[in-house]
Amino acid sequence: MAATSIFKFITTVATTHTIHRSLAATSYSQKFCLKLHQKSFAGYSRTMTTGASCVRETEGDLFGAPKDHSLAHCVAADLKMGGGIAVKFKQVFGKVDDLKAQKIGVGGVAVLRDPPRYVYYLVTKNSSYQKPTYADLRKSLEAMREHMAANGVGKLAIPRIGCGIDGLEWDKVKEMLNSVFGEEDTGDGGKYEIVVYNFVPK
């Protein structure tokens, strides 16, 4: 009987010890996972809050922007420019045949020289009757950025591109502008400055 009791006692102690070790391991595992989650969330928060902003909005006439600011707007590959602010660009700068001669497709950018600046025509769709996609707008913006970097252009004045008759959402387009230009330099170590004019003259 004594031997049996001793055996039961030893078994109970061993089982209790195993349970305690298991609980301790579980607690450690939970704490470790919690720390990983906290680190991951902190990293995500930093990513969300450290993006550089190069876009500034203002009220006024886009065509009254300082001459050291190049201009840009969206067009179709057919270059009809029959609606929205494109009509004003066509009236002011003309040279539609020069633009057509460049034969720029969707996702590219046609360029006119208006010393001392450039005028950019972001080709975001094939036909004037179509709507652009965010993907094609981004490609055109990246093409424009390449030209700007190669030609020392750091300042740009634009309307709310793609958000008039083209129907894109300004918050998404603004975020895209900051993504394309905010983390890049102008080629000479400077930063891009994009001024958005919210008033479109009639």
pLDDT the model gives residue 173: 96
Rg (CA), the chain: 30
What value does the mean pLDDT take over residues 153-162?
Answer: 95
Which of 15-29, 113-127, 176-190 reaches the highest mean pLDDT? Answer: 113-127
Q: Is residue 80 in some structural domain?
A: yes
CATH label of the domain that carries residue 149: 3.40.220.10
Domain count, the chain: 1
Whether 38 shows a pLDDT value over 50: the answer reads no
Q: Is residue 40 in some structural domain?
A: no
What global pTM score does this model have? 0.73
DSSP per-residue codes, the chain: -HHHHHHHHHHHHHHHHHHHHHHHHHHHHHHHHHHHHHHHHHHHHHHHH-----EEEEEEEGGGS-TTSEEEEEEETT----STTHHHHHHHH--HHHHHHT---TTEEEEEEETTEEEEEEEEESSTTS---HHHHHHHHHHHHHHHHHTT--EEEE-STT-STT---HHHHHHHHHHHHTT-B-SSS-B-EEEEEEE---
Whether 31 shows a pLDDT value over 90: the answer reads no
Domain of residue 159, residue span: 55-183+191-198
Q: Is residue 158 in some structural domain?
A: yes
Q: Is residue 18 in some structural domain?
A: no
pLDDT the model gives residue 10: 46
Catalytic residues, by residue number, are 125, 166
11: confidence class by pLDDT, cuts 50, 70, 90: low
Q: Is residue 72 in some structural domain?
A: yes
